[in-house]
Amino acid sequence: MIFSLDKFQEILDTVKKNKLRTFLTCFSVAWGIFILIILLGAGTGLENGVREEFNRDAINSVWIRRGQTSKPYKGLQPGRKIQFTNEDYEELKRSIEGIEYMSSRFYVWGNNNITYKEEYDTFNIISSHPDHQYLENTQLMQGRFINALDVEQYRKVAAIGNQVEAALFKGKPAIGEYIGINGISFKVIGTFTDERDEWQQRLIYLPLSTAQRIFNGRNRVHVISFTTGDVSPEKGAAMEKQAQQILATRHHFDVTDERAVHIGNRWEEYLKYMRLFGGIRIFIWVIGIGTIVAGIVGVSNIMLIAVKERTREIGIRKALGASPWSIIDLILTESILITVLSGYVGLLLGIGVLEVVSNYMPPSTYFRNPEVDWKVALGAFLLLVFAGCLAGFIPARKAAQVKPVQALHDE
């Protein structure tokens, strides 16, 4: 297919003779690609939001929370509350192979009075093991997090969130200073933030053993969690079931009783969402391509009409020696030019709208950075080129079959 200035001028003259018809056809093609880009961008925005939400904690983590039995078991009545202990944590850690990081939690909720000199405020407290930093994706700003010696030696140390630091220290260095927690002094060993979770920024972390001793926790814990490393989803599910079996044996409840303990496998939940978004992407492509096809049919129709209107002209061309290929070339070029230019406009408008939405839309929990990958945009553009060829093929073939004598006679 050879593109020349004369051919372009001839196509332009044809378009000028049928402005409204050409405009409506171009609009349908542009609208089809515009809708496809917007839908793909919106789907990506939803996927980014969900990914961001999952990244608040380790994606490959399993969280086990206490519950209440709902089934009788070996003479024991339903309705018993399950209480985790340090021994449960140790047994799970010892028995389950493949655990990467593991921690248990003991909460100190309520109006905990936190003071530093004349400054004071109320914050929630979580006590944990050192690995909790990796389970929550905690980002250290200064100092360090709780370590094994802190837990073993019952040290009175604390890692505080950046909002706690701002409220109490007013811009002064916090590391090495002492804060009062319900009247007991704790040394600040680190400050942290969590960009994905503002609630985490208002927390204070203490060593688990210290909090249990000071706040009358004895050996009780509220939550046990661990990560499964890079094992397969099947192995991760097996580790989850093993944990449930161990706890069922230790606390005497039916292992099939889903209310006795509540286990959340974030990796399984993450995969479910990703499969859902995979289905959504396929659905979007089906809808988008269907819309584009509707526009392409319009292009093909106007090219058929154009061929019919130009039958005499085509007959004269062939009578003067024009080859069938030159006729096909002219019709195909016009079809591709109309399709690609209108589609390109729709593509740019779609990307432009996504950029505006991404830059000016208020932050949302489940919708972030709607965008279209350049590979997807390139694929859509190549699809337009192919569609333009397809739209012009039947009209071009019909034009090439015009017989000069019959064309002149019909006129």
Residues 303 and 377 in one domain: yes
The SS3 call for residue 54 is helix
Residues 237 and 275 in one domain: no
Same domain, 338 and 385: yes
Given 265, 297, 328, the domain boundary residue is 265
What 3-state class would DSSP assign to 260?
coil
Q: Which of 224, 207, 227, 226 is nearest to 262 (CA)?
A: 224
Does residue 294 share a domain with residue 247? no
Whether 98 shows a pLDDT value over 70: the answer reads yes
Last residue within a domain, chosen from 246, 265, 284: 265
Q: Cα–Cα distance between 334 and 8 in angstroms, integer? A: 8
Q: Say if residue 275 is in the same domain as residue 335.
A: yes
Say which range, 59-68, 273-282, 316-325, has the weakest mean pLDDT.
316-325
Of 41-55, 56-70, 222-236, 311-325, the least confident:
311-325
For residue 307, which phi and psi values (nearest 5 degrees)? -65, -40
Structural domain for 86, as ranges? 61-265
> Does residue 287 sit in the same domain as residue 404?
yes
Average pLDDT over residues 153-161: 94
Tally of structural domains, the chain? 2
Q: Over range 5-9, report the average pLDDT.
A: 60
Per residue in 166-190, pLDDT (tens digit) is: 999 988 889 999 999 988 999 999 9
Last residue of a domain, one of 265, 292, 307: 265
User: Backbone phi, then psi, for 353, in 5-degree steps?
Assistant: -65, -40
Q: Give yes or no: residues 188 and 216 share one domain.
A: yes
From residue 200, alpha-carbon distances to 176, 205, 391 in Å are: 21, 10, 57
Give 227-255 pLDDT, tens digit per residue: 888 888 788 888 989 999 999 999 999 99
The answer on 283 and 161 residing in a single domain is no
Q: How confident is the model at residue 199 (pLDDT cuts 50, 70, 90)?
A: confident
Q: Are residues 322 and 392 in the same domain?
A: yes
**Euclidean distance between CA atoms 304 and 47, whole angstroms:** 43
The reported pLDDT for the residue numbered 25 is 73
- 257 and 166 fall within a common domain: yes
Q: For the chain, what is the mean pLDDT?
A: 81
Task: Say yes or no: 336 and 225 in one domain.
Answer: no
Check whether residue 67 and residue 151 sit in a common domain: yes
Q: Answer for the pair 226, 83: CB distance below 8 angstroms, yes or no.
A: no
First to last CA, the chain: 30
